[in-house]
Amino acid sequence: MIQESRILNKDYEAAVPEKMKWYLHDRVGMFIHWGLYSLLGHGEWAMSRERISKEEYRQYFDNFNPQDYDPKKWAAMAKNAGIKYAIMTSKHHEGFCLFDSQYTDFKSTNTAFGRDAIREFLDAFREAGIKVGIYYSIIDWHHPDYPEYGDMYAPMRDNEEYREREKEKNFDRYLEYMHAQVKELCTNYGKIDILWFDYAYDNMRGEKWQATKLVRMVKHYQPHIILNNRLEVSGNGFGSIVTANPNEYSGDFVTPEQVIPPDGIRNVWNEPVPWEACVTTNNHWGYCNKDYNFKSPELIIRKLVECTSKGGNMLINVGPDKDGIIPEKSAAIFNELGAWLRTNGESIYGCGYAGIEKPEYGRITKSCSGNVYYYHIFEPVIGPVVLSGLPKDKIETIELLINGRKLTLASSWVVNNYKNMGFVTLGDNEEYTYTLPDTRDTVIKVVLRN
């Protein structure tokens, strides 16, 4: 029997653990995928897709020397974009560590670059007042004890020459290495706000990673930390967080990837569960020199509104190139997102699901702390704009966020048939306008009487 769903923010907020409140308030983060794959320039899966052996891949280690790496510039871009948290890859599936791990030589401090890129990232973003997260791949195509032949994704998965080597591998030795590195990240780099594991697949999930032991260790050193659900699943699957009995390693949020959940994400009792849609700005996480298929700033703005309207977060990715430069088109998206958020951020930060069906012209978000609703208009309407779902007689003030102009309820005869519905006219002097003040998303703020 599904318990009556408590879908209004006021109930939901009460159910959210204290440590999650900043995360659900802040709504928008930046994902940074950077590694040796950024030199190859075919995306972060190139080693697997192009069947590149460790020996052949070594050339990228030997040539890793991004002397222009300047995370302060990244942090300034993120700050200007209204980004509230940032997550950077410390080790991706390729196994190369962007931090000074004592457990491997395959790390940035052993290259000509010679620096701990993660430490510099954390320092720069903290200084900018942005919360920090670390992405850590539990998959490792470099470690000698990680499966290769017959694995679902390892670069040498179908190379017969590697079949025999599998017998020499000791996966427990890999787990010891992986757990030790996660401990390094949790003990040597100060307060970490989010740990973003990636990812479970095939039979490689849950206790195969000794997940309970791993999570207990992480929470011992970083008791407030927020974890994702990818010790159990990937973007495919929600994990035990939506079940009646979440595992200890279920994580704190679900990670839909390159998709926005049609109806948000809810547990078996139909209650909202924290989730974060991670999306690329083109079609690759890691730098890809042939991928010019960038999303428009308008699309990213509207998708952030959609995530917020469904009670979710959005993590927007950049894939800096071999020199640590963020692609121009990605930077342009963040720049325009920031301009829109400077005017309309109050309709995102601290907002969530309104409990009202989306209007035909756009989306609705609601402040999680009061009777304030935001009507997001993506396309012009004929006549006055309906403020659907709100009792007309409870509307206290109406304001156009873009310029603070106070609007009044439309009294025109054309809406007389809809007695209890509020309508507003956007144009000046009650004139209808068919060019929205902000064609990306024009936001109307509606405050209800208590």
Residues lying near ligand GLC in the complex (CB under 6 A) are found at: 33, 44-45, 198-199, 234, 257, 278, 285
Cα–Cα–Cα angle for 312, 316, 322, nearest 5°? 160
Measured from the CB atom, is 139 or 410 closer to ligand GLC?
139
Amino acid found at 94: E
In angstroms, what is the minimal distance from the CB of 261 to ligand GLC?
15
Measured from the CB atom, is 278 or 446 closer to ligand GLC?
278
C-beta neighbour count of 181 within 10 angstroms: 23
In angstroms, what is the minimal distance from the CB of 445 to ligand GLC?
33
Amino acid found at 230: R
Task: Tell me how far the alpha carbon of residue 68 is from its chain's centroid.
Answer: 26
Task: Tell me how far the alpha carbon of residue 381 is from its chain's centroid.
Answer: 32
In angstroms, what is the minimal distance from the CB of 201 to ligand GLC?
9
CA-to-CA dists, residue 404 to 343, 351, 375, 443, angstroms: 10, 19, 14, 10
Sheet holding 351-352, edge to edge: 351-352, 362-367, 372-377, 442-448, 395-400, 405-407
In angstroms, what is the minimal distance from the CB of 255 to ligand GLC?
7
Contact 76, 127 (CB under 8 A): no
Give the sign of the dihedral formed by CA 291, CA 292, CA 293, CA 295: positive
In angstroms, what is the minimal distance from the CB of 229 to ligand GLC?
12
In angstroms, what is the minimal distance from the CB of 44 to ligand GLC?
5
Measured from the CB atom, is 228 or 309 closer to ligand GLC?
228
CA-to-CA dists, residue 130 to 68, 115, 167, 406, angstroms: 22, 22, 46, 33
Measured from the CB atom, is 195 or 400 closer to ligand GLC?
195
Measured from the CB atom, is 216 or 290 closer to ligand GLC?
290
Say which residue the tokens 């720049």 belong to.
Answer: 335
Measured from the CB atom, is 330 or 347 closer to ligand GLC?
330
For 145-149, which contacts have Cβ atoms below 8 Å and span 24 or more sequence positions?
145/169, 145/170, 145/171, 145/173, 145/174, 145/177, 146/95, 146/171, 146/174, 147/171
Measured from the CB atom, is 45 or 64 closer to ligand GLC?
45
In angstroms, what is the minimal distance from the CB of 45 to ligand GLC?
6
